Structure 1
């Protein structure tokens, strides 16, 4: 791991529109509710084939990632399986949002890490990744009677609300838009009320250098940039941080996995270098946990862009 930098990475994922996401939703939502999940899943094969053949950039990114995680050259069959898993979670998002939980077989691993604090009235920050399905995670929390909010920046919040209006107008997805006036107060109140605040931490955010640092860690055999922003936020709010993922195992099977990453509740007036060290250690545990999840469930990581491209340049100096 190299030292932090406030310089942005050359590759800006935020300029790449997630065409696959909205394209698949737009096509599937027309028949998903009326025809049902079993029939609609048949459409995923032509959709997947089209995406694999038409989107060369995503195809190359998938092959690069899969070759790293599988430790062998990935072929088109591997890419097809990868994209099909993604399309499956996109379809299932519709049913999770419509609270059709009976359609799925959902298991939980290490759930007490997050459920126990919530029973005691303590809010928890969960940090996930583009692994599996966030909707499965949200549904799992709501099935336990827990309140779940997703933290995101304003533009992303508008995008997801637009998607929800089209797919599930009655869905009750609570979002807290970071970067707005009063966002931190709203987040603190939500956590004080015993809620789960979830966010994704496997993409650096261009333009956010003033609020976070980019740290470089070895990830699947090559250095890659990760932002420490989510962990700095948790440290500032003095909260427990839990890794979460809703892994898709094919068919109707999902697994909700949790692991504690850090506990910042004991922070008071520690020197900046102490906080920096604790944040860095928490971020490294997070990167190692993502890496382990990718090895265990390689077709669940849905970053269809060149995640390592920025690492081709020399990591910036401190």
Structure 2
């Protein structure tokens, strides 16, 4: 892993909106094969020039390889970068409406029926595994379900501009936030009461330095995970779902799980509740991550633990 311990939110966006436009135009004009030809030098340059991201990828894959005995030769850092580039195109295709129903396979149908039949919404915890944008497919599979995605403002700006240009009428809302203020929490509560689902990533440490994290085992090494999604669920007293989307054999597979009907506990047991929730989430993320390890895209020192963080003790379930 790179020696730099810079927080992920301080790392500038890679690439420019012009570069993304060029790649998207190549696909629109010439198709996927030409897109791949143009993508090769782009990914090659990024791979060679971005030492921090390359070392982060290598460190992650080093941890994943012993747990993926069937595909160790495939787990190279360049393949990791290449997969990221290919899935970037798929993100745009989703928002342009080019992903057809036959391109997506939904698992856990009973859970989806549960979501659709409820009068109240909830929280969907996602990750940087696979293609999170595919969650917009929920709008097609369940037309009565509304979705709002919470995104970090700074890193979302360029990508959001591209999405709007690709499809200004995309049937999903984004809310850009850096912290969870009382006003934001109230807005989210109102949306959930109206049956809306709030999508939030659970595998990026908080932007605010005083925000809460829990250190849990991930790929057999201690890593800090945010409590934010579960604090919000505890506050709003709503159901929590997990969603993972993996590209397998040229098709997207969406896995939705009911994580908890409610995350509630007496005040004295609240910390234990949140720590256990983070632990359980990390185990599920690890499970799906090992199914398609090249599709987890956190190109920074994910396992770095801040020395002054008050939650640096490794949490084990039930402790």
Q: TM-score range by the shorter chain?
A: 0.7 to 0.9
CA RMSD of aligned residues (A): 2.9
Deviation at residue 55 of structure 1 after TM alignment: 1.7
Match of 1:203, SS?
Answer: coil
1:66 Cα deviation from its structure 2 partner: 0.6
Kept after mapping to 1: 8 A contact 2:148/2:197: yes
**Superposition pairs of residues 195-206 of structure 1, within 5 angstroms:** 195-206=196-207
| Distance in 2 of aligned mates of 1:125 and 1:200 | 10
Name the structure 1 match of 2:125. 127
> 1:84, 1:34 → 2: CA distance?
21
Higher relative contact order (CA 8 A, sep 6+): 1
Which of these residues, 295, 303, 308, is aligned with residue 298 of structure 2?
A: 303
Q: Counterpart of 1:232 in 2: which secondary structure? A: helix
8 Å Cα contact 1:106/1:256 also seen in 2: yes
- 8 A Cα contact 2:129 2:245, kept in partner: yes
Q: Deviations over 1:173-217 (max 9, x none)?
A: 3013444673223212221222221110111113252xx411111
2:191 paired with 1:185 = no
Q: 1:99 aligns to what?
A: 97
In the alignment, which of 67, 79, 82 is matched to residue 81 of structure 1?
79
> Distance between the aligned counterparts of 2:234 and 2:182, measured in 1?
20
DSSP 3-state at the match of 1:204: coil
Counterpart position of 2:317: none
Correspondent of 1:254 among 248, 252, 255:
252
User: Partner of 1:293 in structure 2?
Assistant: 288
TM-score normalised by the chain length of structure 1 = 0.84
Q: Give secondary structure in 2 for the equivalent of 1:19.
A: coil
Q: Structure 2 regions of 5+ residues with no counterpart?
A: 314-319
Partner of 2:58: 63
| Higher mean C-alpha displacement, 176-185 vs 216-225 | 176-185
Shift of 1:246: 1.2
Residue 98 of structure 1, CA deviation: 0.9
CA contact (8 A) 1:118 1:124 kept: no
Which residue number corresponds to residue 4 of structure 1? Answer: none
- Over 3 Å counting, the alpha-carbon distance change for 1:105 and 1:234 in structure 2 is same
Q: How many pairs were matched up?
A: 303
Structure 1 unaligned spans of 5+: 1-8
In 2, distance between residues paired with 1:126 and 1:13? 22
Q: Which residue of 2 aligns with 1:45?
A: 40
Q: Distance in 2 between matches of 1:80 and 1:158?
A: 27
Judged with a 3 Å threshold, the aligned counterparts in structure 2 of structure 1 residues 256 and 24 are, in CA distance, closer, same or farther, namely: farther
Q: For the structure 1 residues 301 and 85, does the alpha-carbon distance in structure 2 shift closer, same or farther, using more than 3 Å as the test?
A: same
In the TM superposition, 1:260-299 aligns within 5 A as 260-264=258-262, 267=264, 270-299=265-294
| Distance in 2 of aligned mates of 1:23 and 1:254 | 28
Find the aligned partners of 1:23 and 1:225 in 2 and give their Cα distance.
34
2:147 aligned with 1:148, yes or no?
Answer: yes
Rounded Cα–Cα distance in structure 1 between residues aligned with 2:96 and 2:279: 36
